[in-house]
Structure 1
Amino acid sequence: MKSKKYFVLLVVALMSAILVACGGGNDDSGANADANDTDSENQNESAEVEGNENAELEGSVVIDGSGTVYPLMAILAEEYMINEQEGVSVEVSRAGTGAGFQRFLAENGTDFNNASREIKEEEQQLADELGMEVKELKVALDGLTFVINPENDWATELTQEDVVQMFLADGGIEKWSDINPDFPDTEVNRYGPNENHGTYEFFFDEVLEKQDLVDSVNLQQDYSTLVNLIAEDPNGIAFFGFGYYVNNQDKLQAVSIDFGEGAVAPSLDTIGEEADYAPFTRPVFTYLNVDNAKSKPEVLDFAKYVMNHINDFAGETGFAPIPDEEVQGFIDYLEGL
């Protein structure tokens, strides 16, 4: 009887030990499960972060302004939408620098304004009044180009003084023969972009030094109209950005300008701040609404794309590139937003 009692107690003790061992195993499994759950959550969070960084963007980017800068920004927009972000719509218009600033410096205005001149003091003041942070991004160098009809074989080379006097109200030039008696005794027909364009303002401010233009000058809003007018007028001469000449060489010829050391033809090699065509060289810009760049990822992403690829496309659209160190400075700024 006593031995049977001891046997029962021994069985109970063994069972208790087994249960404790099993219980301990369950506790370890629970801890491991918790750890595995935590690791899984961390991995999921990492995957989500990585996915957000590489996610396709959606939305729209709205750009207006300079007709001169338009071809460059248009090709960048097209490349961006095709090769970078198919879900982002980039709209590029060309109202002209001044008219573009009016759209840009407004409540719910455009994201960028292309400009063939620097922002004016009164425009910057308006931005300040609106509480808008604006960043100037220099994108290329352009050469103010004078163009004539292909049939014009007498005015292929002119001096800087010739083209200035030709467009001045008191320049004393009515006929081509007033410039050179060997030229035809026919009236000079002058054309150019109107006051909405930064090219007009650059010409008026820097080339004519704010002297009045001749009354007979035909000023147009659309650059394609200017191209067609010269293409149809053997006695015409017009001014605009080098890119519009490059894209219409079958209809126009460029005038080589003598700045005092021999005639220089505008080209990607001669256009530059220290190059031979320097007196008629100017920087062109796009202005960024920094507040929009901070609140709309697609705007900032497009700005970065522009500055990372600007020199790749400048030459294709008739612009000389800006120095790489200047480009990198803008990229660093954008990366810091």
Structure 2
Amino acid sequence: MKSKSLWLLAVISLLLVVLAACGNAEGSEDGGDEEANSNTEENTSAEGSSESEGEMTEVVVDGSSTVFPVMEAVAEEYQKENPDARVNIGTSGSGGGFEKFAAGETHISNASRPIKDEEKQALEETGIEYTEFEIALDGLSIVVNTENDWVDQLTVEELNKMWSADGDVTTWADVREGWPEEEIEFYSPGADSGTFDYFSEVVFGEEGDIRQDASLSEDDNVLVQGVTGSKNAIGYFGYAYYAENDDQLKAVPIVNDSGEAVKPDQETVQSGEYNPFARPLFVYVKHSTLEDESVYNFAKYALENAGAMAESVGYVAKPDSAYEEALNKLDEIAGK
């Protein structure tokens, strides 16, 4: 009888152990499901974040190398404040920028001169609506090497004589009596550059072409290097590139319409004394792309900060009221 009781007790104990083990196993499986669900939610959240980042449009801007320092500074600050944002700033020149703009490759086009009639027509043909915004002022700077101690000023007529393809200027002595008989080296922005167009319009008018032996480049830094590398060089580009290298370059005072020789600086550009080479700088914004929040947010940030960024890189800001008007216009276009 006692042995039967012991045997029964052993069986019951074994059953209890088995039941307990089964319970723990079920609990473990439930816990595993909860952990798996938790991981799935985390993965879904990460994928959602990736999708959100993926949906953020890379804002593409191209055009003028003169406007580039302003927009580059804007883009750098914008991306610091918006780490997920991506902005690509190109420098194919004002003309090259408008070609990409018309081809639908960019959202914003930078230009150092107003859009031309043929460029307007190309945009009309592709059904692209846009608005022009002035973001800063520039003083197109004519520069020589710091070792050049004879050029004290130049007139537009002398610039025409020097740079014209039809001219017979070879040495500095051909420009003005008493200057050295040293051969001049010419450095100019490329033909797609708005600076090239603006300089040509001021110096040649509707007629005349730039000399064929000038070294051309769409990269203003190449022009800076060319002038700094030769005592007899002369070149021209936006004021910011001169200001950045004013220890290696000498800006030539230009005789204005009042007969005064004036150097480019923020005061003379703002006042208009530095004429005829003071000019506005532009961005052109495509209307349809403002439906994209990424493009709208960057365009708004650019107009809010263009003045400060322009001055930080050596250009001249427009009055605050001009930027306020521009922002109101942007919101109107975007339906904000």
TM-aligned CA deviation for residue 172 of structure 1? 3.4
TM-aligned CA deviation for residue 265 of structure 1? 0.8
2:71 aligned partner: 73
1:139 aligned partner: 135
1:100 aligned partner: 97
Q: Given residue 68 of structure 1, which amino acid in structure 2 is its aligned partner?
A: T
1:318-333 equivalent positions in 2, closer than 5 A: 318-333=314-329
TM-score, normalisation: structure 2: 0.79
Say whether 1:169 aligns with 2:165. Answer: yes
Given candidates 243, 248, 254, the residue that maps to 1:246 is 243
SS at match of 1:271: helix
Say whether 1:275 aligns with 2:272. Answer: yes
1:282-321 equivalent positions in 2, closer than 5 A: 282-294=279-291, 296-321=292-317
Q: Given residue 263 of structure 1, which amino acid in structure 2 is its aligned partner?
A: A
Distance (whole Å) between structure 2 residues aligned to residue 146 and residue 316 of structure 1? 21
| Superimposed CA distance per residue, residues 119-157 of structure 1 (whole angstroms, 9 cap, x where no aligned partner) | 111211121221111111111111111111111000132
TM-aligned CA deviation for residue 87 of structure 1? 1.4
Say whether 1:205 aligns with 2:201. Answer: yes
| Superimposed CA distance per residue, residues 261-307 of structure 1 (whole angstroms, 9 cap, x where no aligned partner) | 321110011013x521031111110111110112x101011111111
TM-aligned CA deviation for residue 323 of structure 1? 2.3
Distance (whole Å) between structure 1 residues aligned to residue 309 and residue 210 of structure 2? 34
TM-aligned CA deviation for residue 173 of structure 1? 2.1
Assess if the C-alpha contact under 8 Å between 2:157 and 2:203 holds in 1. no
CA RMSD, 1 decimal: 1.7
Given candidates 228, 231, 234, the residue that maps to 2:231 is 234
SS at match of 2:267: coil
Assess if the C-alpha contact under 8 Å between 2:184 and 2:233 holds in 1. yes
1:64 aligned partner: 62
Given candidates 158, 176, 181, the residue that maps to 2:177 is 181
Q: Given residue 290 of structure 1, which amino acid in structure 2 is its aligned partner?
A: H
Assess if the C-alpha contact under 8 Å between 1:156 and 1:254 holds in 2. no
Distance (whole Å) between structure 2 residues aligned to residue 164 and residue 317 of structure 1? 29
Assess if the C-alpha contact under 8 Å between 2:65 and 2:218 holds in 1. no
Assess if the C-alpha contact under 8 Å between 2:94 and 2:193 holds in 1. yes
Given candidates 194, 219, 224, the residue that maps to 1:222 is 219
- Which stretch shifts more, 262-271 or 274-283? 274-283
TM-aligned CA deviation for residue 198 of structure 1? 0.6
Aligned residues: 279
Which runs of 5 or more residues in structure 1 are unaligned?
1-54
TM-aligned CA deviation for residue 169 of structure 1? 2.2
Distance (whole Å) between structure 2 residues aligned to residue 275 and residue 123 of structure 1? 28
Percent identity over the alignment is: 36
| Superimposed CA distance per residue, residues 41-70 of structure 1 (whole angstroms, 9 cap, x where no aligned partner) | xxxxxxxxxxxxxx9993311111100000
1:124 aligned partner: 120
Distance (whole Å) between structure 2 residues aligned to residue 79 and residue 93 of structure 1? 17
Distance (whole Å) between structure 2 residues aligned to residue 120 and residue 263 of structure 1? 31
TM-aligned CA deviation for residue 205 of structure 1? 2.0
1:13-32 equivalent positions in 2, closer than 5 A: none
TM-score, normalisation: structure 1: 0.79
Distance (whole Å) between structure 1 residues aligned to residue 152 and residue 219 of structure 2? 25
Q: Given residue 292 of structure 1, which amino acid in structure 2 is its aligned partner?
A: T
Distance (whole Å) between structure 2 residues aligned to residue 146 and residue 321 of structure 1? 21
1:150 aligned partner: 146
| Superimposed CA distance per residue, residues 66-104 of structure 1 (whole angstroms, 9 cap, x where no aligned partner) | 000000000000000102x22110111111111111111
